[in-house]
Chain A
Amino acid sequence: MRKFSILVAAVLVLAGCSAEPEVAATDLWVKSSESSLAGGMTAVYGTLTNNTSADIVLTGGKTDAAGVTEVHEMAMINGQMKMQEIDGGLTIPAGQSIELEPGGNHLMLMQLTADLLAGDEISVTFSFTGAADLLVDGIVAKPAEGGDEEYHSTEMDMDN
């Protein structure tokens, strides 16, 4: 008897979940450093969670804060850790989370439109294949140690 009522409760909870967004963003932040001045670059970090039962791919984003937004990974190129755009975007497996973190995958913001100072906030719209766009406001700029990865690109060389 008891088991039965628990099962009913579980079903109700599951039903409640349908109101969830397909992708959820937690603890997003953007790096403020010497590179994050107007014309410069920075990156957005945090956790993205896929609440659906199919894979979703992060393909890029849009923000007033930057001219160019790309999904980046870190890769060993000629014996050096460099960052580069991920071909085809970054997959968030069904029901799982991915971390965007310094030294790892990140949403790169280039050609910043204004100085991004510690404590500033920006809005970013994340774009996906397999899910609707996700607008996140109030992404705060946190000071973080250099660690600014070298950029590897076939189109333009932005090494710094």
Chain B
Amino acid sequence: MVTRRGFLGTGAAAAASGLVGVAAGAGATNASASQNLETFVAKRELSFHGEHQMGIEADLQAVTNFIALDIKPGTNKASMLRFMSLITDDIQRLTRGEPVLADPAPELAIGAARFSAYVGFGPSLFSKLGLQAMQPEGFHELPAFKVDKLQEQFSGGDVLIHVAADDPIVLAHGTRGLVRDSMPFASVRYVQSGFAHTPGMVPAGITHRNLMGQVDGTANPKFGTKDFDSVVWIDEGPTWIQGGTLLTFRRIAMQLDTWDQLGTPSKEEVIGRKLSNGAPLTGDNESDTPDLAARHPNGLTVIPDFAHIRRAAPAKDGERIFRRPFSYDAGISSSGSVDVGLLWTAYQRNMDEQFIPIQKRLDELDLLNSWTVPIGSAEFAVAGGVESGEVIAEALFS
């Protein structure tokens, strides 16, 4: 007889309960032997269990992979549940810096290094499985925007596993394990790799820079606040999405050859903030609130009418998003042009009330559009968090 889903926290653990003494003993020996080899970077762990999935309300890690998968024909709710139980166990182990079960290369599990992974589902998954009734409110394929130059190879996906870590080897090893366990159920649609600053490069909590040079992320809601909860975390609708969020994922190319022809004052006017420290053009510090009404003596607005932060600012209450962009670098052409940009993410409760109205406004006017081009696009509904013994998105596939 074959049974399902007991092994997460219960099954194997219960069966192994008698060996707690041994396991703990062995672990202690290993730990003391390797303790001085483990660095600060390797040891830092993010917590897997909780109300929300991990890797969203968290400082950027150094490296990331967005792994999009398409389910195989014949995959149904029951197989999705088996899929998610494997992935849940894998993530749990990887976040502790441990090898996944059946890891062919356990020696690569050299530390947690703030490894994180969360799972989301694209609109295509709901239609393929006939689960439209479980689709969250304000979640669907995006309308077309004038600025879009979307490529299939960077767009869509039934399932997203978004992984990140502070070390590229840890990331590659974790990615491999998660992809291996996905293969009975799905094929890889794309993996988009990105990066941010390495740990220790900028103090925790300090806003990262993107490859245009800008301090990027200033106006985000702050972690651990009610404000963050109200922008990002869903607290109604089908149970599986409660504690979850909606992700808009855009691959946005930067045209640095032409951007670099601008002088500093022009670059700053495009955004409405200073390049040196991210302060608004109407202030001195990054944390100063932009004064959108301020005018030069000549009557022109200090933060220009075409400026990105003016156009992106909320037109009404609640029209905000949480951005957690990683940079990408896909190489350099023979003529020296860099293929770089952002793996840009917006987390929100409802795309119709948050990302879409903002993007519509930017589509009409935003001078930044002259140097940025969305070339990939996808939406994923990110399931709520799990407690020990639970499977990610269990309620969606049960």
Contact = CB atoms under 8 A, between A and B. Distances in A.
Interface of A: 16-17, 19-21, 24-29, 31-32, 45, 49, 51, 64-65, 97, 102, 113-123, 135-140, 142-145
Contact of A120 (B4, B89, B180, B181): B4
A160 B362 CA distance: 61
B137 to A, nearest CB: 30
Given A20-B21, A64-B1, A142-B101, A120 B82 contact: yes
Contacts of B15: 25, 28, 135-139
B2 A118 contact: no
A118 B185 contact: yes
Contact of B1 (A20, A28, A29, A65): A65
Given A29-B102, A121-B6, 15 more contacts: A17-B21, A24-B16, A24-B23, A27-B12, A113-B1, A114-B1, A114-B2, A117-B184, A119-B83, A119-B184, A121-B3, A122-B3, A139-B7, A139-B12, A142-B181
Contacts of A24: 16, 18-19, 22-23
B interface, over-half SS = helix
A136 B16 contact: yes
B184 A143 contact: yes
Interface of B: 1-7, 10-16, 18-19, 21-23, 26, 79, 81-83, 85-86, 89, 101-102, 104, 180-181, 183-185
Contacts of B4: 119-121
Specify which of B1, B2, B10 lies most central, judged by the most chain A CB atoms within 10 Å of its CB. Answer: B2
Given A25-B16, A29-B101, A138-B12, A122 B2 contact: yes
Specify which of A117, A123, A137 lies most central, judged by the most chain B CB atoms within 10 Å of its CB. Answer: A137
Contacts of B19: 20-21, 24-26, 49, 51
Given A20-B22, A29-B101, A114-B1, A119 B16 contact: no
B335 to A, nearest CB: 42
Contacts of A138: 3, 6-7, 10-15
Contacts of A114: 1-2
A111 to B, nearest CB: 14
A120 B3 contact: yes
Specify which of B5, B83, B184 lies most central, judged by the most chain A CB atoms within 10 Å of its CB. Answer: B184
A122 B144 CA distance: 48
B18 A119 contact: no
Contacts of A25: 15-16, 19
B176 to A, nearest CB: 12
B15 to A, nearest CB: 4
A27 B165 CA distance: 24
A51 B22 CA distance: 8
A115 B1 CA distance: 10
Contact of B183 (A97, A136, A139, A143): A143
Contacts of B6: 121, 137-138
Contacts of B86: 118-119, 140, 142-143
Nearest to A63: B1
Given A24-B18, A140-B7, A142-B101, A118 B23 contact: no
B370 to A, nearest CB: 47
A34 B16 CA distance: 29
Contacts of B14: 137-138
A145 B3 CA distance: 23
Contacts of B89: 140
Contacts of A31: 102
A150 to B, nearest CB: 20
B185 A121 contact: no
A117 B82 CA distance: 8
A121 B81 contact: no
B85 A119 contact: yes
B283 to A, nearest CB: 54
B184 A120 contact: no
20 contacts: A16-B21, A20-B19, A24-B22, A45-B102, A51-B22, A65-B1, A102-B104, A116-B2, A117-B184, A118-B86, A119-B82, A119-B83, A119-B86, A135-B15, A136-B12, A137-B12, A138-B12, A138-B14, A143-B181, A143-B183
A115 B11 CA distance: 20
A117 B16 CA distance: 23
A120 B82 CA distance: 7
A50 to B, nearest CB: 10
Contacts of A123: 1, 3
